[in-house]
Amino acid sequence: MAGALSATPSRRDYSLVGRDTQLAVDNGLAAAEWYHTEVPRKQMKELMQRSDGPALRDTIIWLGALVLSGAGGAWFWGTWWCVPFFFVYGTLYGSSTDSRWHECGHGTAFRTQWMNDAVYQLACFMIMRNPVTWRWSHTRHHTDTIIVGRDPEIAIMRPPDLIRVVLAFVGVLDGWHAMKDTVRHSAGIINAEEKTYVPEQEVPRAILIARTWLAIYAATIALALYTGSFLPLMLVGLPRLYGAWHHVLTGILQHGGLADNVIDYRLNSRTVYMNPISRFIYWNMNYHVEHHMFPMVPYHALPRLHELIKHDLPAPTPSILAGYREVIPAFLRQLRNEDYFLKRELPPTARPYREELHNDKAAAAAE
């Protein structure tokens, strides 16, 4: 079983300091000029406008639900009644922080910058992503989206390691790596890959935050030992594991199974229609092509942006289920042929892909 699902050695070198890093530079894929749909300046200005209202409303609901579900879980601790409360608490803690981290990192959720910063710091702690190193890794992700050797945030590399994908739903490996990174950063160590995208002057802040977090986790563990109860860890730390499922469920669909080494977001990103609860948790990042093409547009304006430019984009995936119906077979096929990918079809109204800018071999592997 493990042999069937495990990755064979990849011909792609995903290291940020390896062979494909130089190849991406040589092929003009690093810091390239990406395709954008034309949107009149007046309309784009309207879409980019910032407002505190929607994010304040959503943050009050989010924090209120966190407090209530956490209190409910603690109140019913020791009985089965705590399970639904911790299900909600964990999802809000371990999944909705993925989108809060992301949107506030872009600085688009709120108009008021300190509000973006405050929610960013809180969400980073909960999702266990160092706010300094991850800000810079995400900057690179937007510069070189799914460019092998350049993008540090390629969630599923080819051929896909499906055991790792499954484990991500319960946060086991992510949590382990996050704790190792926190300890490493606390010791003042920034690795070679991080040095390629984190400026030197930012390093002391990354170290300070890691040390602060380590102190918080140490205090939580001490409290658990002192009280002889697992409860403190159910409220701080572990929800990153047992609540990770939703952000992995939605995150895999962002780029999973699509082209790599192309400079057109319509080819390597996926827009998926989702239910309102998932969109609240995910802060509309299901409009992922739109987000990558225009990262200045706040999450609450993405549905309007989608309506404006959908004539130039591949048809959106109609649901999460439909997304997995195409992604899972693509992953299985990539186990045998890592060059295989899902090629997006454009509507007749769209401007065509510039095939000459895409990897010829990869294009041939697609169907």
Partner 1 sequence: MSDWIEACKADDIDEEDVKRFDHGGRTFAIYRSPDDEYFATDGLCSHEKVHLADGLVMDDIIECPKHNGRFNYKTGAAKGAPVCVNLRTYPVKVDAGKVLIQIG
**For residues 174 and 245, is the Cβ–Cβ distance under 8 A?**
no
Closer by beta carbon to partner 1, 45 or else 311: 45
| Helix or strand (DSSP H, E) at 99 | helix 96-106
For residue 317, the 8-state DSSP code is B
Binder among 17, 28, 31, 67 for partner 1 (CB under 8 A): 31
Binder among 48, 190, 233, 363 for partner 1 (CB under 8 A): 48
The least distance separating partner 1 from the CB of residue 49, rounded to whole angstroms, comes to 8
Closer by beta carbon to partner 1, 241 or else 289: 289
Q: Residue 80: is it exposed, middle or buried by C-beta count within 10 angstroms (0-12/13-18/19+)?
A: exposed
Distance between CA 341 and CA 156 in Å, rounded? 13
The least distance separating partner 1 from the CB of residue 333, rounded to whole angstroms, comes to 34
Q: Is 135 in the site for partner 1 (CB under 8 A)?
A: yes
- What sign does the dihedral 146-148-150-154 (CA atoms) show? positive
The least distance separating partner 1 from the CB of residue 152, rounded to whole angstroms, comes to 14
Neighbours of 260 (CB within 10 A): 23
The least distance separating partner 1 from the CB of residue 42, rounded to whole angstroms, comes to 8
| Binders of partner 1 in range 287-326 (CB under 8 A) | 294-296
| Start-to-end C-alpha separation, the chain | 28
Closer by beta carbon to partner 1, 95 or else 108: 108
Closer by beta carbon to partner 1, 137 or else 271: 137
The SS3 call for residue 258 is strand
Binder among 11, 19, 45, 177 for partner 1 (CB under 8 A): 45
User: One symbol per residue from 97 to 126: x for binding partner 1 (CB under 8 A), - otherwise; what is it?
Assistant: ---------xxx--x-x-------------
Binder among 72, 88, 142, 343 for partner 1 (CB under 8 A): 142
Give the range of 78-86, 128-136, 172-180, 206-214 binding partner 1 by CB under 8 A.
Answer: 128-136
The least distance separating partner 1 from the CB of residue 196, rounded to whole angstroms, comes to 14
Closer by beta carbon to partner 1, 202 or else 339: 202
The least distance separating partner 1 from the CB of residue 148, rounded to whole angstroms, comes to 19
**For residues 167 and 16, is the Cβ–Cβ distance under 8 A?**
no
Closer by beta carbon to partner 1, 199 or else 228: 199
Q: Which of 82, 117, 111 is nearest to 242 (CA)?
A: 82
The least distance separating partner 1 from the CB of residue 173, rounded to whole angstroms, comes to 27
DSSP alpha helix (H) spans, 49-95: 53-75, 82-94
For residue 337, the 8-state DSSP code is -
The least distance separating partner 1 from the CB of residue 51, rounded to whole angstroms, comes to 11
Distance between CA 249 and CA 256 in Å, rounded? 11
**211-217: Cβ within 8 A, 24+ apart:** 211/186, 213/125, 213/182, 214/182, 214/183, 214/186, 216/125, 217/179, 217/182
DSSP 112-132: SHHHHHHHHHHHHHHHT--HH
Residues in the interface with partner 1 (CB under 8 A) total 23
Closer by beta carbon to partner 1, 101 or else 331: 101
Give the range of 182-190, 195-203, 222-230, 264-272 binding partner 1 by CB under 8 A.
Answer: 195-203
Interface ranges with partner 1 (CB under 8 A): 31, 44-45, 48-50, 106-108, 111, 113, 132, 135-136, 139, 142-143, 199, 201-202, 294-296
